[in-house]
Each structure stands twice: as C-alpha cells, then as structure tokens.
Amino acid sequence: MEIEQNEPLEVRVARYAALADPARLRIVDLLTLGDLSPSELQSELGMPSNLLSHHLRALEDAGLAVRHRSEADKRRSYLRLAAGALDRLTPGRGHAARRVLFVCTRNSARSQIAEALWRQVSEIPASSAGTRPADAVSRGAVDVARRHGLDLSGLTPRQLADVARADDLVVTVCDNAHEELPGLRGIHWSVPDPLRSNSKQAFEDAFEDISRRVADLAPRLRVA
C-alpha cells in the first residue's frame, strides 16, 4: 500500500496555527461566503485596523487568503480564500490504490455492503471476500441494502485467497478478520457484527457506520 501526505506537514501546521486564533477563524468564515475588503472586514469584526492587518498578514502568510486590487478603485483591495485553502485540513493521509478489497469473516454482510457502497462513490474498483465465507449473503444485509437503494441479491460470498491481489488496498471490516490476518498492511474498520443480534436495527447501525467510513475514505484515495 502506497501512502503519501496530502500536503507537506509544515504547510498544514502553519494553516492550523493561523486558524487557531478566534479572529482569524472568523475572518475565514466570512471569506467562505465571498470576497471582502479590509474596511468591510473591519466593520464586520469591530476591530482596530492595525490588529486586522496583523491577522490578514498571518492568513496570507499561511496560504489561506490572497489579496487583489479592485478593478474600480485601485486604492481598494479585496481578500479572498486561496484556492484549495481548506481542502486538506482534515487530518489524514492520502492513499494510492489499484483496487479496494473489503474483507470480513463470512463475506455475508459487512464486506458486501462496503463493496456496494464503494461502487457508488469511487471510480477505484472494489471487491469483497471472506476469511471463512458463508454459503450465502445474509437476509438482513440484503434487506438493509434494499432499503437504501442497493441490490445484494444474487451475490455469493467468496474466499479471500481466490480474490485477493498483491496490490489490493485491503480494508478489514470486522475484528475477527483483522485478527486472523496478522501483519497485513491495510486499513481496519471495527464494525460490530449485525448477525450477532440479527435485528433490523443492528443491520441499520452497521450500514450507517460503513456508509460514513466509505464516504470519509473515498476522497482520500486516488487511482494508483
């Protein structure tokens, strides 16, 4: 698995430091809506001009804001957010992957749901498998998927050894599978097994958990 920083660490640290000040965070909040002149910001914030200038310099130095001259009154300037200024501030790392392989013990619920959800949000191919696959996808998984617009009917659990490739980004979605594969380089999601209680709510909880994790991981991946 190839891992890379989305942004040099020192750049991210500088941006976090700039945003740690309440006044600068408020300025950034305002700039997310549109461009503002220093005088407009001063009026909005009720702040002395020298203090505002200090905060604006800090935001510019951190690469969060840029300044440009008005096309009308050349003595006037406007501040705007720098392109992509906030895109990489969520903590995390970027990954490159040729395929994502979701693994659980029986490949009958969580990994099947994860694969189906992944196909909705990413162009990176996905598959799923189990360390000890069941005979069929569980009824609860089929039902919860259908309630959320996904079709798991007709799918068959598959053995990990028959599916895995050397360059897969493996995501284990159950503790048993993760602990059965010591030393595996990949990602682990500790999603409770809905089959333990086999209730509608347990499957809904598992679906929601996996859906949130898929939505968080997908933007961090790029095609290798």
Contacts 24+ apart (CB under 8 A), 16-22: 16/89, 17/62, 18/58, 18/59, 18/61, 18/62, 18/64, 19/64, 19/89, 21/55, 21/58
Please name the helix (run of DSSP H) or strand (run of DSSP E) that holds residue 113, with its range, or none: helix 110-121
Cα gap 173→164, rounded to integer Å? 15
Place of tokens 């910001």: 41
Residue 145 Cα distances to 47, 200, 211, angstroms: 53, 11, 11
Judge whether 61 and 189 are in contact, CB under 8 Å.
no
**pLDDT on residue 74:** 87
Structurally, at CATH architecture level, domain 95-223 sits in 3-Layer(aba) Sandwich (3.40)
**pLDDT on residue 93:** 62
**pLDDT on residue 152:** 98
Q: What is the pTM of this model?
A: 0.72
The domain limits of the chain are 2-81, 95-223
**pLDDT on residue 92:** 65
The pLDDT tens digits for 44-74 are: 999 999 999 999 999 999 999 999 999 899 8
Phi and psi, residue 164, nearest 5°: -65, 145
Cα gap 84→31, rounded to integer Å? 13
Judge whether 55 and 38 are in contact, CB under 8 Å.
no
Residues 6+ apart with CB under 8 A from 26: 45
**pLDDT on residue 3:** 44
**pLDDT on residue 9:** 83
Domain 2-81 grouped into CATH 1.10.10.10? yes
**pLDDT on residue 40:** 93
Q: Which residues of the chain have pLDDT under 50?
A: 1-5
**pLDDT on residue 162:** 98
Cα gap 202→96, rounded to integer Å? 32
Please name the helix (run of DSSP H) or strand (run of DSSP E) that holds residue 34, with its range, or none: none
